Each structure stands twice: as C-alpha cells, then as structure tokens.
Amino acid sequence: MARKPKQQRSKATVDAIVQAALISIASHGPSAITARQIAEKAGIGVGSLYEYFEDKDAIIDAASKRFVSDTVDLIKPLIPELVRLDIREAIEKLLFSFRDFLEENNQLYLRCARHAFSMDMVIYQSPINSALMELFTQYLMHHPQLLKLPNIPTVAYFYINGGIFTVVRHLSEDNPIQSFEELTTVFGDILASYVDKKVELAG
Amino acid sequence: MARKPKQQRSKATVDAIVQAALISIASHGPSAITARQIAEKAGIGVGSLYEYFEDKDAIIDAASKRFVSDTVDLIKPLIPELVRLDIREAIEKLLFSFRDFLEENNQLYLRCARHAFSMDMVIYQSPINSALMELFTQYLMHHPQLLKLPNIPTVAYFYINGGIFTVVRHLSEDNPIQSFEELTTVFGDILASYVDKKVELAG
DNA sequence: TGCTCGTTCGGATTCAACTCGGATAATCAG
DNA sequence: CTGATTATCCGAGTTGAATCCGAACGAGCA
C-alpha cells in the first residue's frame, strides 16, 4: 500500500484516481465520497486504490494538492503583466482570469473550491495565499509611492482572504444579487479608494 | 423516530444532544463525528439519539442552526447602538463583540465557525448575513448622506462575506501576522476610506 | 517456456450508523 | 393509591461502506 508508481501504466492509474477524486469532490463534497465511486470513475478496481494511497483521506489530500497547485500555476504567470497595470485594471484582469479558471471543465474547480474553506484544507491553501502575497509585494515594488501606505500586510491579509472567499461564494450563488462585473468594479474601487485616500493623506 | 419531545426530561435530552454535537463539531469537524461520541458526551444511549433525530445529519443540522441563531442573537441587539456611531467605531465595536462571542466557552463557536465555510453550511449562514445586511441598511438610514454611495449592495456583499471569513480565519491562526486590533483598524479604515472618497467625489 | 515481480482485483473483515423490541419512568383515569 | 397508557431510554444486532488481503494476471527476462 502507498507504493511508488514504477511503470507508465500505474502513473496513469494514479492520475486517473486523482482526477476521479476531484470530480467526486466537486459533485458530492469530500466527506460524502465513497471509495467505490472513485474507483468506478477512474475505471479500476477498488483494491487498486489502496496500492497507491494509504487510505481514502490520502486520495482526497492528493486531489486537494492538485487543486492548489493548479491554482498557483494560474496566478504566478500573471504577475509580471499585472504589476505594470493600474490597480483597478490589475484587479479586474486577475479576477476575470480567476473566474475563467474556476469555470473550466464544467466548474470542476469552482465546485471543489466550495469545499476548500472547511478549515482543514486551509493548510493546503497557503501556497495560493503566498502566490497572491507575492503579487501584492511585487506590485508595491513597481509602485514605490505605495510603500507609504499604513498596515500593508494587514490590508493584504484582509483583501486576499476576503476576496477569495467572496469570489467563490459569488460564483456559487444561484441568484447572485450582482453581476461578476459589478463585483470586480467594487473590488477595484475599494482598494483604489483606500490607496488614494492614504497616499493623499501621506503625501 | 424523530418524535416530538413531550416531557421536560426529553427536552433536556434533545438539548444535551445538540450541545454535545456542537462540542463534537468544534473538536473534530462535522464529518469526523461518530454517533457514539455524541451519545457519550450527551450522557445517553445511542438509541436515544434516533428518538428525536432522523439521522446523524439531522443532529448536525440542528447544531448548525443553533450556532447560527446564537450568532444572530448576538448581532441583532447591537444594531440600535451601532447605527449611532462613527463608521470606524461601529466596526470596532462590532468586531470586538464578535470576537468575544467566538471565544466564549473555550472557543466553542470559533471552532464550529471554522467548519461553517464548507459551502453546504452556507445555506444556514444566510440569517447571519441577513442580520448584518440589516445593520448595514439601518446604518445608511441613520446617515442619509451615505445613500449617494455607488454599488452599496455589492460593497456590503464583499464586506460582510470577506469580513466574516477573514475574522474567523485570523482568530484561528496559530501565529497571526497581525493583532486583532490592527485587523479592526484596517477593517474600519478600508470602509471609511471608500466612503470618504466617494462622498468627496459625489458632493 | 517458466520465473519474478509489479499490478489488479473482488471477496473477507472491520467498524460505524442505524433499528428494534423491550425495559423503565412519567402521567393520568378511576 | 393502583393499574393502564403513554413517553422515554437503551444497547445488542443488522446493514453497508471502508479497508485489507491473498490470489490472479501480465510484462520483462533467462
């Protein structure tokens, strides 16, 4: 059990298991999954699951990690472009990319993200937060006049955490009270207002 | 099964079950609970659980509802006082009350709240959001010059959702990067900056 | 071909949710 | 007060899902 895949076909099996787990998490949530479901979706026998994974939780862990690393892979390449933009434009661009990512594959990732906030999983989210924090930091480096802002780390903390949660929740609403475009406008406006106001006061 | 309690002692039993479920959720999360645990903590036999609850999920539901209604009972009475305060003061007062509430009973509610973000439970949260929305609305009524602000519902949506999540997450951190006081300052500052900037532009 | 070892499988085992039938306690009619 | 009736409580036993395990399969190699 929990052995390393050594041949090509077994690597494919592991991948199929992770993919099947992601799909199952998306449709039923991590606690409602059965091992049989995963095995069936992956097209293998139940016993085979336990060749590569200690138990069901290990499978869910692997799926969560896949989810997080795919998200980080979305954010990282955007940084060089975003840091050159105006705050509102940068946020708009980031949020639209994020939305498109979440909506891919019939909302596979969005439906996983809905379950990612149970705080057990927050540990795995930290790479996502780090990536966004890096974006924040690099943005500041490219706009040195912003370094005067008070409470930068705390603002980033509020903005990143609150922002992720709000976007995922908004995209999950059956009857959103506002469009995604309105949300991006407000996201930009709130941060830009804070920045303008504080720069004004400081300078 | 799922009968109505008719005698005093059975009401106490139901209450003990809900309380035990809250404690169990707080310590292990809703999916890891076993029926035996709940029964044992409540000081009753396993069978008794099923006298008043359809199944384990019904018990967890009841506990969630208790959590939500206790939270609403915290917010509602604060509204009349908060609407008379300055934005920063109001937010500070609200956040400190909220923190104290979450930290009561050895963080019972905080530890439950950590699990409340798995989106299954978001349905039950809506009364909390409604209560905060009412606070928002009543605040605007008492400060009519604010009604000029653009995108009020969306700002409220972002602020309430992001705010709740960020506070719960902050209080759950082992090594918070900032104090709770700093967080409340930033919360107040961000909203006040937005308001100031927009009122300035509009008037 | 026959051997070996990585891989796959599904029946056997374990464990938790839930049921059932009867014991015990409260309530009430006479 | 007593027996009948109803409410409550219980925990051994049933059921089904998670996990384990030993046999079967097949690719590579002598």
Which tokens is B167 given? 């506070």
Tell me whether residues A197 and B193 touch, CB distance under 8 A: yes
In tens, the pLDDT along A79-133 reads: 999 999 999 999 999 999 999 999 999 999 999 998 888 756 566 678 999 999 9
Residue A152 near residue A169 (C-beta atoms within 8 A): no
Tell me whether residues A186 and B119 touch, CB distance under 8 A: no
Q: Is B180 on the interface with A (CB under 8 A)?
A: no
The H-or-E segment that residue B150 falls in is none
Round to whole Å and give the CA distance between B130 and A73. 36
Interface of A with B in 136-155 (CB under 8 A): 150-151, 153-155
Higher pLDDT, B101 or B7: B101
What is the dihedral angle through the alpha carbons of A172, A178, A181, A185, rounded to the nearest 10 degrees? Answer: -120
Q: Is B96 on the interface with A (CB under 8 A)?
A: no
How many CB atoms are located within 10 Å of the residue B182 CB?
A: 18
Chains A, B: CB pairs < 8 Å: 125
Nearest CA in chain B to A186: B155
Residue A151 near residue A95 (C-beta atoms within 8 A): no
What pLDDT sits at residue B79? 98
Residue A84 has what DSSP assignment?
Answer: T
Residue A113 near residue A68 (C-beta atoms within 8 A): no
Alpha helices in chain A (DSSP H): 8-28, 35-42, 46-52, 56-75, 79-82, 87-113, 122-142, 152-172, 180-202
Round to whole Å and give the CA distance between A31 and B31. 6
Question: Can you tell me the mean pLDDT for B93-99?
Answer: 98
> Residues 44-103, chain A: which have Cβ under 7 A from strand D?
46-47, 50, 54-57
What pLDDT sits at residue A1? 45
Degrees, nearest 5: CA angle A116-B152-B145: 145
Q: Residue B6: what residue type?
A: K
Round to whole Å and give the CA distance between B184 and A186. 20
Question: Can you tell me the mean pLDDT for A142-150?
Answer: 94
Question: Can you tell me the mean pLDDT for B46-56?
Answer: 95
Q: In angstroms, how far is the first alpha carbon of chain B from the final one?
A: 63
Helices B87-113, B180-202: inter-axial angle, 10-degree rounding = 140
Q: How confident is the model at residue B18 (pLDDT cuts 50, 70, 90)?
A: very high
Which tokens is A54 given? 């200690």
Percentage above 90 pLDDT, chain A: 63
Q: Is the pLDDT of residue B61 over 50?
A: yes
Option in A115, A182, A194 nearest B151 (CB) = A182
Residue B187 to residues A6, A111, B178, B183, Cα–Cα distance (Å): 52, 29, 13, 6
Option in A117, A154, A178 nearest B186 (CB) = A154
